[in-house]
Amino acid sequence: MRVTRPALARRTAGFTESVIREMTRLNARHGGINLAQGFPDFAAPAEIKEAAKRAIDADVNQYAITWGAPSLRRAIAASYRELYAMDVDPETMLTVTCGATEAMISTLLAIVDPGDEVVVLEPFYENYGPDTAICGAVPVYVPLRPPDNVFDPDELRRAFSPRTKAIVVNTPNNPTGRVLRRDELAIIADLCREHGAIAITDEIYEHIRYDGEHVPIATLPGMAERTVTISGASKTFSVTGWRVGWIVAPPELTAGIRKVHDFVTVGAPAPLQEAVAVALALGPSYRAKLAREYRERRDILHAALVVAGFSPSLPEGAYYMLCDISRFGFPDDTAFAHWLVREAGVAGVPGSSFYSRRELGRHLIRFTFCKTEALLREAGERLRRTEELARAVTR
């Protein structure tokens, strides 16, 4: 007799499809403006592109050292020293990965056992849930409370238990735009030290900031030895498709992370690593220009959304805006987002996809503003009709 068994592993059962990429596909079908998926539609700096071409011409075509090309690791270490006075040994504390996405899953696979608890602040970037599921870990969610998206310290404290292995922190934050303050990070750090837990911090938007300073939690007292800092080139150099990210961690953690990384991907694209090493030397004037241009984009979209009746939040960092959609009279954010891309031709991401407790995000939609000014203005024009279009449906 033939035994029938499910074809798919149980670990995939809880996964939902990426809502961000689903919205991108829907947008393509309706020929809309994609303010759903956060990827820039403008050029990367000439210097990084030239450096990539030079590396390919020089036949840097084979595997780099699995944990990263020495030139890139040296450049990353130098930049952490310069920016945050962090002591990062490129030989023992750095792993170059295929983007921050691989950095997060390789880190979790390396440090989390099945059944361990991982604290995740919500709303969260949609990967963190599936990442914990792949590891068999139990995510414990703590909300960032509206309107200011701050966590309640007591609630956070209650989320830590003897089984807590790690907390995932993301600052500047996707999707809220929060830049966590030093005092907030200090509360997280205290809990990590108290419980022997590791802070895994996704700092991919570290240079896209409008207010507040970026404080790597690794720089807080006693945290260097219990923090895994993740960042990458995607956002800073507008190269999300290059897949070059990195992990800074103490040597013992790095040793484990490198093994997972090696077996999962072998390494990040070799010529692009050389290019990112060059780009990291662009320095403060490049970073200031990046932040200034993003502020302009933020302000354009914010003003347009206010006019269109969306009640957008004003982010302190990263390139997303959460907007309240209550006044349009839709009961459900997903229905609203699908309707909006079809009728108005602008795609956003339904807010519920950033929450484990979906109801917390039912009144929200996320738009990204990592787009050219012309596209943002065109999106604003299209969204002006939202209220009028909505009235016809919900009346």
Binding-site ranges for ligand GLN (CB under 6 A):
20-21, 37-38, 125, 174
The answer to whether the CB of 311 falls within 8 A of the CB of 200 is no
- SS3 per-residue string spanning the chain: CCCCCCCCCHHHCCCCCCHHHHHHHHHHHHCCEECCCCCCCCCCCHHHHHHHHHHHHCCCCCCCCCCCCHHHHHHHHHHHHHHHCCCCCCCCCEEEECHHHHHHHHHHHHHCCCCCEEEEEECCCCCHHHHHHHCCCEEEEEECECCCCECCHHHHHHHCCCCEEEEEEECCCCCCCCCCCHHHHHHHHHHHHHHCCEEEEECCCCCCECCCCCCCHHHCCCCHHHEEEEEECCCCCCCCCCCCEEEECCHHHHHHHHHHHHHHHCCCCHHHHHHHHHHHHHHHHHHHHHHHHHHHHHHHHHHHHHHCCCCECCCCECCEEEEECHHHCCCCHHHHHHHHHHHCCEECEEHHHHCCCHHHHCCEEEEECCCCHHHHHHHHHHHCCHHHHHHHHHC
The CB-of-152 to ligand GLN minimum distance in angstroms stands at 25
The CB-of-247 to ligand GLN minimum distance in angstroms stands at 17
Q: Which is nearer to ligand GLN, 71 or 170 (CB)?
A: 170
The CB-of-321 to ligand GLN minimum distance in angstroms stands at 12
Report the residue closest to ligand GLN, judged by CB: 38
Q: Which is nearer to ligand GLN, 123 or 271 (CB)?
A: 123
The CB-of-85 to ligand GLN minimum distance in angstroms stands at 28
The CB-of-40 to ligand GLN minimum distance in angstroms stands at 11
The CB-of-20 to ligand GLN minimum distance in angstroms stands at 5
Altogether, the residues listed in the chain come to a count of 395
The CB-of-174 to ligand GLN minimum distance in angstroms stands at 5
Q: Which is nearer to ligand GLN, 320 or 328 (CB)?
A: 320
The CB-of-388 to ligand GLN minimum distance in angstroms stands at 28
